[in-house]
Chain A
Amino acid sequence: MEEHFQIEMRNIQKSYGNIRSLRGVDLQLKPGEVLGLVGDNGAGKSTLMKVLSGVVIPDEGEFYFEGKKVSIDSPRAAKDLSIETVFQDLSLCDTLSVANNMFLGREPVKFLGRLIDQKTLHAKSREHLDKLGIDISSTKLPVQNMSGGQRQAVAIARAMVFDPKVLILDEPTAALGVKEVNMVLELINNVKKKGVSVVLITHRLQDLFEVCDRIMVLNEGKCIDDRLIEQFTLDSLIKSIMGSPDKGVGVS
């Protein structure tokens, strides 16, 4: 029987001018699997995730969603597959309110779809923020006046609103305090139980060992290491990120 992947990327290639950012990367994710994606700066992690979220169109490569070949050629296509992303730069519109940012592009409407249903918009936003334990005094506030942590929380909440099947978190904890980091890790463990596949990019290596099932290491646009978390130690992971993976501990 063929193994069932939630999402699979095959031979993803992307160049910018004479720089080959991604040189044929494969990535598979099972339902409910948490994959840590690491690598030095410029390794291609963010680009790979932008490809998966339809923001960057690869020069070459194929996508398979639940075993079926699909094309992810726009952000909309990724959303339609329930692939949601927290981008490294958060991708928020400063002058829009918390609620408008959370539902941007998918606002609840009324009056034959002409008007945004403000009541539902704010009620739903509040509900989701509460569910995630995010403390923001009003969903009507523009995000420009908020702290880095609150903005990051809004970006995370946005990715959770439409029940993702694949959740991409690109440095989701960069601006967060200790408490909020724990909240995010807890969130990852919670969605994992529901069968959501997660890709986590982070520089906080200790976090990877708390939530990941597997770690994939990118180096100069190629995957140079891909092992289950048990087969890594912090030391071997660092070696791998530096570009020289050892053969791992306990590899069978």
Chain B
Amino acid sequence: MKMEEDVYVSERIIKESQLKKFLRENLSTLSIFGVLLAVSLFFGIATGSFLSASNVTNLIIQVAPNVIVAVAMTFVITTGGIDLSVGSILALASALLATLLASGTSLIVAFLAVIAAGLAIGFVNGYVVAYHNIPPLISTLASLMYVRGLALLITGGYSVAIVGENWIIGMGQGRVLGVPFPVILAGFIAIIGVIALRYTRFGNYVTGIGANEESVRRTGVHTKKVKIMTYMLSGGAAALAGLIIAARLGSGSSNIGNMFEMDVIAAVVLGGTSLFGGAGTIIGSIFGVALIGVIKNGLTLMHVSPYIIQITEGLVLLLAVLINVKIFSNKK
């Protein structure tokens, strides 16, 4: 019952070279990369120190925690969700780690407790979103508040020093073959993220849920479980990031990570992940993190007022959202 071969063997499809196809399919990722290069070049010329080895190293160490969380956030946003609580989880992780270590808890127990706390908050976020159909903006806004409150409660608002040399400190300050450990960890997580989003069933369902959740459910996939898992990923990633920052600074504080969620979400959106869900790119998110990091770092080196930096960041986010909505609403 084969139909005639030439029914619509698509004269409508324009033949194009592999290169052109690659460019078209990766347009948003390539353009953010282009902007990143241009901005870096600008700061390189405008300031003497931006491209120095020490500044670049410093910059990549600083953005490593953002990369870790942005990778996880890409999964959340690709399902059509959002997680506003990552900044607070980061602070809780940092406060909890320092407090536990100060109370004499063993390293491994403290480490596991911190990660488990992040996963647990993520589970609550995901459960409320998936099983009670509460908009993720609201449910994670609630977490943003109560988790920050928890962190403050634990530390009483003071920072707690982490003393001594141990492997947890090493996670923030150590180097392997000259490469800072946070950077190695971020790179590793990024690679896992790319593979998971593009080449696993989980990644497929994440993208599918963002495109049409009911369709995925009708194929027999437990979509609620998939959604919960994405929030657990972002919660766990935020806890890991908080741990790394605390280890790097040698102290835990309930006051770090203010507006961290905005940095991460801005990066993911800048990178080309659709705010409507259904299309996500890990590589784009990493470029997005890098771009925001470069802008902050470059402007600081230019001795621009921190207020101006914040204004700039806000405008960059606004622009990114405008472009994002324009691109993805056309496709729908």
Contact = CB atoms under 8 A, between A and B. Distances in A.
B331 interface: yes
Contact of B214 (A85, A91, A105): A91
B332 interface: yes
Interface residues of B, number: 32
Contacts of B217: 55, 75
Contact of B211 (A94, A133, A134): A94
B204 A114 contact: no
Contacts of A109: 201
A104 B2 contact: no
Interface string A81-123: 0000101000111111000100011110100001110100000
B220 A179 contact: no
Contacts, number: 93
Contact of A55 (B8, B13, B218, B331): B218
B7 A95 contact: no
B52 interface: no
B17 interface: no
A76 B225 CA distance: 14
A186 interface: yes
B182 interface: no
Interface residues of A, number: 38
Given A96-B208, A144-B331, A116 B3 contact: no
Given A100-B204, A109-B201, A135 B218 contact: no
B201 A96 contact: no
23 contacts: A54-B220, A78-B220, A79-B219, A79-B220, A87-B218, A92-B212, A93-B207, A93-B215, A93-B216, A96-B204, A104-B205, A106-B220, A115-B199, A115-B200, A116-B204, A134-B3, A135-B7, A135-B8, A135-B9, A137-B10, A144-B332, A179-B3, A190-B1
Given A76-B220, A104-B215, 19 more contacts: A54-B220, A74-B220, A75-B218, A75-B219, A75-B220, A78-B220, A91-B218, A93-B207, A93-B211, A93-B212, A93-B215, A93-B278, A95-B207, A96-B208, A96-B211, A104-B205, A134-B3, A183-B1, A187-B1
